[in-house]
Amino acid sequence: ETGVTQTPRHLVMGMTNKKSLKCEQHLGHNAMYWYKQSAKKPLELMFVYSLEERVENNSVPSRFSPECPNSSHLFLHLHTLQPEDSALYLCASRKEEGGTYEQYFGPGTRLTVT
Amino acid sequence: GDSVTQMEGPVTLSEEAFLTINCTYTATGYPSLFWYVQYPGEGLQLLLKATKADDKGSNKGFEATYRKETTSFHLEKGSVQVSDSAVYFCALYSSNTGKLIFGQGTTLQVKP
């Protein structure tokens, strides 16, 4: 596979469940990002990992827990979510050297919390 | 702080019409500028970019020119197709924060 992949593409979970979202990039990048995209709201940056170290946590509730075991993989662990957490969760990656700043996005996981 | 403002949507056009989606920005220095496109049910795809003043980014018939004097990066296409129906996001790289700053997105609907 090429590019940035995300699994699952769709997820329905109850408020008491625990689930994880997975992101994998095949681009040789060294920075990875989680974004939340809700209807009628701007794209929200949640977490940033650079060289597998978390460098950004934008006041995200603790019910969202990221993990970056290596530069190709990124997870978002979910527990005791709320209905307002229903959204499209997008993963992105970037190569930090070379002066280019564009990020490459995965297709997203559509999360519904019931 | 740095910001991006896009024209309100939705924009509805007939096939083969000319498209303009306005984008203006506020930033210090000379940020890199981007247009991303999001097709229904998918993630964001990089459409084009420009890294310095007067640069023109182009891809798939879309163009945008980096205008420093007007702090703008308007997206244009001469003849849209139904398959161009999507949400378009203007973005800049903020050297202040090290982040991509996105506009709110503009929905384009092209009718046959």
Q: Which residues on chain B are in Cβ contact (under 8 Å) with A103? A: 46, 100
CA distance A46 to B51: 26
Q: Which residues on chain A are in Cβ contact (under 8 Å) with B42? A: 107-108
Lowest mean pLDDT among A49-58, A69-78, B68-77, B91-100: A49-58
Higher pLDDT, B12 or A56: B12
pLDDT in tens, A1-34: 569 999 999 999 998 889 999 999 999 999 999 9
pLDDT in tens, B4-59: 999 888 999 999 999 999 999 999 888 999 999 999 989 999 999 999 999 999 99
B76 CB neighbour count, 10 Å cutoff: 14
- Is B44 within 8 Å of A107 when comparing Cβ atoms? no
* Mean of pLDDT values over A26-55: 90
Q: CB of B29 within 8 A of CB of B40? A: no
Q: What is the mean pLDDT of chain A?
A: 91
Higher pLDDT, A1 or A95: A95
Say if residue B10 is preceded by a cis peptide, omega within 30 of 0: yes
CA distance B21 to B88: 8
- pLDDT at residue A96, rounded to an integer: 86
A32 CB neighbour count, 10 Å cutoff: 25
Identify the DSSP state of B32: -
| DSSP secondary structure string for all residues of A69-83 | EETTEEEEEEES--G
